[in-house]
């Protein structure tokens, strides 16, 4: 979202500068030529932004309509290498990394156990990667984000079969997490709904700005090239 907003703002600023200064002073095809290509590039960037924001909006909208899995039995019936969204709590069986924190994010890095165990109805499953996006975790007075035992979480990730370093154990299913949201399902839906609205607003803004650039600035450049 932040990247898309910055890109939109940059395109708007550059378009205004082109319209306000070089476009008004250009008189020959050689002067209009670079302005033409810059205008086309700006329009393409903005239209690409429309696609990105629509993709983000669609993903967020789906996440608010599909309830996460809460049962271990249901989760483990999903096909390996498919995306899953499930709800659980941080297991008490996890080793603590710092004080009562089982996982935490400071200004340097995300510190997460090699296997972050989560309790679901009827069983538990592990997150087996230590790099994922920490979203809406509690914040301590030092500004660190953290998870503690029995913290409810929503996980978005990919179901995997874990086979490495088992020392004779049978392979078991685990999750490669992409997002770990710290909070209830209701909080997750509320946040996703807000972000979906922002994504749609950005898509519409990009489309409108691209339309203005391609109908107001581009024709002037084309006429200048023909003069």
What is the pLDDT, as a whole number, of residue 1? Answer: 63
**Predicted confidence pLDDT, tens digits, the chain (227 residues):** 667 788 788 888 888 888 888 888 888 888 899 999 999 999 998 999 899 899 888 887 877 777 899 999 999 888 888 889 999 999 999 998 888 999 999 988 999 998 999 999 999 999 989 999 999 999 999 999 999 999 999 999 999 876 555 455 555 678 999 999 999 999 999 988 888 998 899 999 999 999 989 898 899 888 888 86
**Model-level pTM?**
0.74
> 35 CB contacts (<8 Å, ≥6 apart)?
18, 22, 23, 26, 217, 221, 224
End-to-end CA distance of the chain: 42
- The first and second tokens of residue 134, run together, are 């920490």
What phi, psi does 122 have (nearest 5°)? Answer: 90, 5
What is the pLDDT, as a whole number, of residue 157? Answer: 92
Could you tell me which of 89, 102, 91, 180 has the C-alpha nearest to residue 148?
102
Crossing angle of helices 185-212 and 29-65, in 10° steps, is 160
User: Cα separation of 192 and 198, whole Å?
Assistant: 10
Report whether 111 contacts 97 (CB < 8 A).
yes
């Amino acid at each position: 979202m932040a990247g898309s907003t910055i890109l939109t703002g940059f395109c708007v600023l550059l378009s205004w500068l082109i319209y306000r200064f070089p476009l008004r002073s250009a008189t020959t095809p050689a002067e209009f030529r670079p302005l033409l290509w810059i205008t086309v590039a700006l329009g393409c960037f903005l239209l690409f932004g429309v696609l990105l924001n629509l993709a983000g909006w669609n993903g967020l909208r789906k996440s608010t309509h599909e309830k996460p899995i809460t049962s271990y039995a249901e989760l483990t019936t999903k096909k390996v290498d498919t995306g899953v969204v499930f709800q659980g709590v941080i297991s008490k069986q996890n080793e603590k990394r710092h004080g009562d924190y089982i996982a935490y994010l400071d200004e340097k890095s995300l510190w997460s156990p090699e296997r972050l165990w989560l309790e679901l109805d009827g069983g538990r499953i592990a997150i087996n990667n230590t790099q994922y996006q920490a979203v809406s975790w509690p914040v301590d007075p030092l500004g660190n984000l953290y998870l503690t035992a029995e913290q409810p979480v929503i996980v978005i990730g990919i179901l995997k079969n874990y086979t490495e370093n088992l020392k004779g154990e049978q392979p078991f299913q685990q999750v490669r997490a992409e997002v770990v949201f710290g909070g209830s399902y209701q909080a997750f839906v509320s946040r996703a709904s807000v972000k979906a609205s922002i994504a749609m607003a950005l898509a519409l803004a990009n489309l409108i700005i691209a339309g203005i650039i391609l109908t107001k600035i581009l024709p002037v450049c084309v006429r200048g090239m023909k003069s």
